[in-house]
Chains A and B, each alone.
Chain A
Amino acid sequence: MQLTGLYWGHKLLRKVEYPHAEVLGPEASVDQIKDLIKRCGQVFIKPIFKGGVGKKGKSGLIGRAKDLPHALQEKERLYFIEHKFGNNSAKADGVTFEGGVPAEHEVYFSITDSTLYRAPMMTITHHGGMDIEELPKDKIREVPFDPLTGLKSFHISNALTELGAPPEIISPLVQNLPKLWTLYNNYGLSTLELNPIRMMPDAKGRLVPVACDFKCSFDIDNPAWKRLDLPAHLFASDYSEFEQEINQLRTYQGQSDVFVMNPKGTITAPTFGGGANALVTELLGERATISSDFGGNPPYEKMFQISKIVFKYWIRQSNVLFVIGGKANNTDIYETFRAMADALRDHFNTYGPTPLFVVIGRGGPNLIRGMSYMRDTLENLKLPYRIFGHDSAMSEVVNYALNIDMWMEKDGRKQVAESLGLESGAKKSAKQPAGV
């Protein structure tokens, strides 16, 4: 859950009365834009992306205009622009017009939770407006502070003094930056970054630290962000439809963390435990449809609902249903297997049978009861299967599932389809129920 840009950022900054550049949204009229240019001398036109999208500036995604025609030209260029970063891409949906902020000094500022210090930490430099990763360490200060007392003026003044920052910028920053801790702490943020903060002289010549960009991420486990009343669609692009459906079941009892790995994958693996999830996802690679962690002893009903959703989205394209986990400490194998078996039966009843090979590796409480329930269900669904105990190396079980997948791809799927009385093993697209 991330927010980037001033369009939404300025609304957050207002909560703590932190100064920010003037900003107009995509709905701005020609007159408003004209007026903004008149007042600020120039405007920056920035595409609005949902969620985190990497570095926009370097990718030529920021336009600058000193007159209206130019501003509208940039608006047209950037309004639906597509931005590729790493393995991801995002499409803009609108632009903002941000008033230029004349300044001599640019400051970088962020707050995160530091795993090094195990405390909240401020990062600051007066060499802002550039990639901070590229700055030498002696030009940055990282200052952990006590969460009980929060970020204080002295943290800022000490850091800036140590950095040798120009004296005229210290006082306005000391006065304003602690407000950002309030924003960070009160609304469940896990990262907050303002870069650049431009030190703009006010009418009396005093410098004001104006936020000219905004980035933050939220702690998904902290409901405080809901106090901000942000529209839910802002975070929708962070998750696929499938992930969103699963996330609705997110409660503290039992994990339900999922990622879509490959929408065209052929192995669907409900995985139990973070460790198993890491190992299995790595070994399955591109063949996995999803990466999941359903450990933490989910109750029957939750596991049943999760399985139903997983099967609805992925099972018809899959060759292998792969249920895998280590030797569970507390997760009741009978309850979780019963839920998955019932959901599979339910899926077959609702959407019709589909050619599938089931591979299972698991250990834990109520193991044999759970395995035998699964066995009985699979026998009744007439599916081929192998169930391995926890005394088989998990990676070997993963390799077995991979080999089964390759065999299914070659001619196994066709054979299983025939044995189920289906006409062919042709894959149906996800969510396309048969027989309805």
Chain B
Amino acid sequence: MSQYKIIFTGPVGAGKTTAINSISDLPPIKTDASASDMTRYRKSSTTVAMDYGIMNLPGGEKLHLYGTPGQERFDFMWDILVTGGIGLVLLLDNTRADPFQDMRFFLDTFEKFIADTTVAIGITQMDMSGKPTIEDYHIQLQGLGLKPPVFAVDARVKNDVSLLIQALLYSLDPGLEGDNEQ
């Protein structure tokens, strides 16, 4: 069975772990978990080194949710991580000194993956810092020739994370039909 995955990236503290936790059907496996020795020598142990969750889909399929380590950590896994990914969720912490620099860094780093798939951007901590605004992010993105969804996101709120992923999916295919009829 194919392995489908969505990648969550962004700087440390942007809410990747929390966002994955919000929509995962299993408690996410965190790197911070203490029991790492047992997986240390197995190939699959690499998943322990990052945040990870699963969404169960109809028919027994699973969507894997991977969170990359933050910008200041080791990012050598990123190339491996994105292989086969459906799309990228970029979370940015609005209280950081220069969230635009963070945004440019991640967009640049994942440039090829984004070109092959798509990206949706969630701005976290906006209730603590209202500036820059969502509009400010769009202006920056226009300069980069991009028009991705940019939403204010509380990573703890399932609905916020869900809407961001929905936007990611519709960006890939606006013809997708959800269950709007319900």
Bound together: no
Chain B residues in contact with chain A, CB under 8 A?
none
